[in-house]
Structure formats: C-alpha cells, structure tokens
Structure 1
Amino acid sequence: MVRRIEHIAIAVKDVETSVRLFETLLGKSCGSIETLPDERVKVAFFELDGGRIELVEGIGSDNPTSKFIERRGEGLHHICLEVEDLPETLRLLHAAGFPLIDTAPKPGSSGTRVAFLHPKGCNGVLIELVEQPSEA
C-alpha cells in the first residue's frame, strides 16, 4: 500500500526566510515556492535522496497551518506517505477504523492528489497520503 516516505513537512511562519535557512543547512537550493490557494498555504520543497523536505507557511490566520504554529510553534507538521491508489487506500484505512480528515482525494502540489489522516488515529502524528500524477 505505502511505497515510500514522500516528504516530511515543517510548519514555518515565513517560507522565504526558512528557505534561506534550509538552503544553508542542506547545501542545496529550493526548487520553487508554490502557493496552494485551496489549502491556503505556500510550500517549498527540497529534493533529497529518498525523499523531500517541505516547508509549509499558512496564508492568513484562520487556516490549519497557522493555527498549528499558534498552538505549538514552528516545527514538524506532518509525514507524507506515497501510495499507488489513493481512493483505494482511503477505503481500506477507513474500513480498518482510521479516522480520515479527507474522505476523498483533493488536489495537491505539482499535480498530485492528497488526503490526510487524523492524528488521533496515528499516535498523534498528522499523516498525509499522496498519489503522484499518472504519466498517461
């Protein structure tokens, strides 16, 4: 069902400032900063061998990422797992009793489809599931 850890996301107050910090830390450049209006976030990814690091900044004070930072401060936000068939994975996890935040896939960055599992069913960790765009 799960293919690999796709990325680890870090909630940040200012993605541009954090990009500069992580470029120095990782010794590599960020690809680009993408705004996802439906999710009300700006994201930046760093490609690493075997996965990526995502920096996530909430747009406005009333979105989940901004509320997360308000409660907990900047830091680890979620772990993203790549799956082959997101609708089927959601069906199987729901049947197994996992609490779903998203019952159906929604658009993610770079043409992906994503859905989230509630942390209360995953030992306190927010889990994002991602399906890569088909190469058809």
Structure 2
Amino acid sequence: MSTQGLFTHIDHVGIAVRDLDEAIAFYEEKYGMRMAHREINEEQGVAEAMMEVGDSSSCIQLLAPLNEKSTIAKFIDKSGVGIQQMAYRVENIDEVCETLKERGLRLLYPEPKRGTAGSRINFIHPKDAGGVLVELVEPNPEGH
C-alpha cells in the first residue's frame, strides 16, 4: 500500500453522551440533523445513533453506555461527555491495518470487528495517534 490514500473520508466523529434519546433530540432539533441509523452493540456495551451531517457522507456518532462497565461509561467517568473518537473511512481495512502495523502503530484488536450497520472496524491506540482514539471504518458494501 502506498504512503498516501490510507483514509478516504472522515467517516464520523464519535460523541460520548449519557442519554441517547436526549442527544438524538438535541442533534435533530438544534442542528437539523437526521438520524440515519440506530442500534445496540452489546459487544462494545453501547447504544449508538448515526446522525447525518447535511448532504455529506460524514456523520456524528452518538454513543451512550449500556452499563457502567462499558468503555463509553469509563470514558465519561474519566473525561465527561464529548468527543471520544475520530473515525476515518478506508476501502480495505485488512490492508490498512497491516500497513499501520508495519509503520509501528498499535491497533486495539488483532483482527477487525463488526461495527455499526455491518461495517468492519479497528482502532489505532491513542498513544500512537497523538492522544486521539482513531477508528478505522470499512463500510458495509450494502450501505446502512
């Protein structure tokens, strides 16, 4: 893989929230965003909603904890509500992960996992990404 072109778009920015319904209402009523997708991800312990940003293909992902042990609950306890992650879209997550590992970056998962709407995801460790949790997203080819 070349040194350019690892990421194709900003896929979404993840926002940790305490109450998903309240956050959805805020983003719809105040910002005029539309909810594109909502689901429960038991494995990650979150309820999540993707809010479309205008006519772009970028979204705001609202993430609420399902329980006090979830990563999002721990994030909120430590940092409060707010930006939790930056997600970049990739065409082939397996190739991108391999390239990043070759470049000395640590990934959180040895293999990509299932993400929102059937996507495949992995994360770059924040200590290797300037303190930012970076998510890699290979969209489901069938869309939302």
Bucket of the pairwise TM-score, normalised by the shorter protein = over 0.9
TM-score (norm 2): 0.89
- Corresponding residue for residue 35 of structure 1: 40
Residue 73 (structure 1) aligned to one of 53, 75, 80 = 80
Percent identity reads 31
TM-score (norm 1): 0.94
Runs (4+) of structure 1 moved beyond 2 Å?
none
User: Greater CA deviation, 20-29 or 57-66?
Assistant: 20-29
Q: What are the residue-to-residue correspondences of 1:43-58 with 2, within 5 Å? A: 43-48=48-53, 49-58=56-65
User: Greater CA deviation, 41-50 or 69-78?
Assistant: 41-50
* 1:130 is aligned to 2:120: no
Find the aligned partners of 1:55 and 1:9 in 2 and give their Cα distance. Answer: 6
- Corresponding residue for residue 102 of structure 1: 109
Amino acid at match of 2:85: H
State the Cα distance separating 1:31 from its structure 2 match.
Answer: 3.0
Q: Which structure 2 segments of 5+ residues have no match?
A: 1-5
- Corresponding residue for residue 17 of structure 1: 22
User: Greater CA deviation, 126-135 or 61-70?
Assistant: 126-135
Deviations 1:23-48 (A, max 9, x none): 12221332342101111111011112
- Corresponding residue for residue 3 of structure 2: none
Find the aligned partners of 1:100 and 1:29 in 2 and give their Cα distance. Answer: 32
Contact 1:90–1:103 (8 Å) recurs in 2: no
Q: Which structure 1 segments of 5+ residues have no match?
A: none
User: Greater CA deviation, 45-54 or 82-91?
Assistant: 45-54
* Count of equivalent residues: 135
* 1:91 is aligned to 2:113: no
Deviations 1:46-100 (A, max 9, x none): 1122410110011111111100000000000001100011011111101101111
